[in-house]
Structure 1
Amino acid sequence: MGTVHRLLDQHGKEAALGADVDRRVVEAAAAYMGDEDGGIGFIYSGWAQAALPHRRLPDDQPWQIISDRVRLLVEPGRKPVDSRDAPDALQWVGVPYGSRARLILLFLQSEALKTNSREVELGRSLRAWLARLGIPIGGKSIKEVREQAERISRCRLTFHVQAGGRGGLVNQNIVDEAFLLSAEESDQGNLFVDTVKLSESFFEQLKKHPVPLEEAAIRALSNNSMALDLYCWLAYRLHVLPGSRPITWKALQAQFGTSYKELFHFKPRFIENLALARAVYPAADVTVDERGVTLRPSTPPVAKLGG
């Protein structure tokens, strides 16, 4: 348990807010500690090692992350242009990005595992789940969710996983089939029609390599894409470490901060978001110094499932 959790536990939120602790960290920790929902979500382990961009890229630009064990390539998809003058024309859709894309992917993966089916209902189910996370569904928010869902459904994904000295292409798309409502229909109460079908290869890897996460933690970080990435990373890494593992700033920037040109711009953002991730993962044993971070074996946020 970290300092902020002890303050909250022993003295309450007001006292913690008066201490020398970032207000956002106190708010996240208080929200997490006061959340009694107990829900669990899942992601494929590859996402805990290489994630989507935080901000929008040019629509025709691919996204690539190269970490010590995973290479992720996300290529943007295209869709027909709604034009009588150019009926065969296509336009780039762009790769998914930001916190909304991460939440939609988390929903798809969690539902697929819980139902043991590649077909995942969207519409009311996604709407209800986002509402549980405190995401308003209406106006600008519904537009963002629709856009990220379309980007996810059209992009091409390649994970190259290095394991045991051998590399291999794990999966090459996320979604096989998806049907989106028109803009007019989306105002009638549903976000999407029918289902999304995850690709068979992605679903198989998800079943083999799931990372369980606490929905309470996701809820507290739902608007912060880097904090979500760091929470997923810690949930994946810490409980399997045989001992202390130092990681350099250079390696951290390659995995989490490729959009930052300079390390001195990346470091403070990383430290801020690591503190938020630790606020919702009290057991995480992580220290920061001038060389990078040191990870130490820690209890996972979700106890081992299924015996």
Structure 2
Amino acid sequence: MAPDGEPETRRLLASDYTATNGAFTLTVRAGTRRGPSHLHPRLSLGVPSGGLARLLLVFLVTEAKKRKSPTVPLGRTLADLCGALDVTPSGGRRGRLRYLFDQLLRLATCSVAFQWETGTGYGHLGRERYRGESVLLVEAYDLWWERATATAATGAPAPIDGPAVAGGTITLGAQLWDLCRTACFPLDWRKIQALRDYPAALDLYAFLTHRLDKLQTDGAPEVALNYDQLHAQLGSHYATDEAGRLTPRGKKDFGHNLRRALRRVQLLWPALDVATPRGRFVVRSTGPDVPHR
């Protein structure tokens, strides 16, 4: 068992997540924690994933923007943080407290790499070019988790489902903080909360808000995107060919899930004007969901 009471086998998580579109590759690398022995000195914490990880990232960026500082305090206890996120602070091995702290630690320790690889192959006429950039979402973090104090009668450790406190701070990476100050666009926190259990719909909501903000800035009436273009922004491991384009099966599966996510977004955003003719996604300019102040 791990020090936190979880089986060590549950810690053997993926060390990275990779998505490729043509020459571009996005890689999210997980942080690590101390392993159980010298044979396994480090174990992957896993990459941040799911709606809660997205919710945490939006929260951190929002708080940094409001405070005009890259350093965000997380409150005195995990319950305080849960209150700020509107997450029920349930305990136990599978409770939201443990899951929240786990996703927070994953987010704080991961790194993101952007790579572009182009070329015409080997040989005396070959030409290749490699470009890349690495981004730290979090530059510094100080997190702690502590179960309730030992019982007074026996001195034994508190039960694993007992109350817990935590705290600390997170400092956003320099590049992310620069983007927060110069290129942020507002989202409706209520919609983020409503969609947190539907990661695909949450991603689509953020994408549409960004595109509608750009349409308003450019003065364009609409933008039409095909499924391959949308897959490059929102897709994950749908079937593609060697050139990175969706296969017929991949396009069918992606289109089905995209339309299902769109229906969830439209329930919360009635003013949204999006048409889905065969194989395309047409977004008509209605202005962003939340106007800039």
TM-score, L = length of structure 1: 0.69
> What displacement does 1:148 show?
0.8
Which one has a bigger Cα radius of gyration? 2
State how far apart, in whole Å, the 2-side matches of 1:213 and 1:244 are.
20
State which of 142, 150, 153 in structure 1 corresponds to 2:97. Answer: 142
Q: CA RMSD in A?
A: 3.1
Q: Deviations over 1:15-41 (max 9, x none)?
A: xxxxxxxxxxxxxxxxxxxxxxxxxxx
Matches within 5 A, 1:260-279: 260-261=238-239, 262-279=250-267
State how far apart, in whole Å, the 1-side matches of 2:225 and 2:68 are.
36
Greater relative CO, 1 or 2 (CA 8 Å, sep 6+): 1
Which stretches in structure 2 are left out of the alignment for 5+ residues?
Answer: 1-9, 117-129, 149-159, 240-249
2:41 equivalent to 1:78? no
Structure 2: which amino acid aligns with 1:157?
A: V
Structure-1 residue corresponding to 2:119: none
State how far apart, in whole Å, the 1-side matches of 2:19 and 2:205 are.
18
Structure-2 residue corresponding to 1:45: none
State how far apart, in whole Å, the 1-side matches of 2:76 and 2:275 are.
42
SS in 2 for 1:294: strand
Q: Deviations over 1:77-116 (max 9, x none)?
A: 22222x3x42981111121100010011111111101001
Contact 1:245 1:294 in 2 (8 A): yes
2:290 equivalent to 1:292? no
> What displacement does 1:67 show?
6.4
2:227 equivalent to 1:249? yes
Percent of counterpart pairs with the same letter?
A: 25
Structure 1: which amino acid aligns with 2:136?
A: N
Q: How many residues align?
A: 242
Matches within 5 A, 1:52-91: 59-65=13-19, 72-81=26-35, 83=36, 85-86=37-38, 89-91=41-43
CA change 1:137–1:117 in 2 (3 A) is same
2:106 equivalent to 1:151? yes
Which stretches in structure 1 are left out of the alignment for 5+ residues?
Answer: 1-55, 162-166
TM-score, L = length of structure 2: 0.72
CA change 1:146–1:113 in 2 (3 A) is same
Matches within 5 A, 1:21-100: 59-65=13-19, 72-81=26-35, 83=36, 85-86=37-38, 89-100=41-52
2:208 equivalent to 1:230? no
Structure 2: which amino acid aligns with 1:223?
A: D
CA change 1:123–1:170 in 2 (3 A) is farther
SS in 1 for 2:145: coil
State how far apart, in whole Å, the 2-side matches of 1:69 and 1:276 are.
32
Considering fraction of residues, name the structure with more helix: 1
2:64 equivalent to 1:112? yes
State how far apart, in whole Å, the 2-side matches of 1:198 and 1:151 are.
14
State how far apart, in whole Å, the 2-side matches of 1:282 and 1:288 are.
16
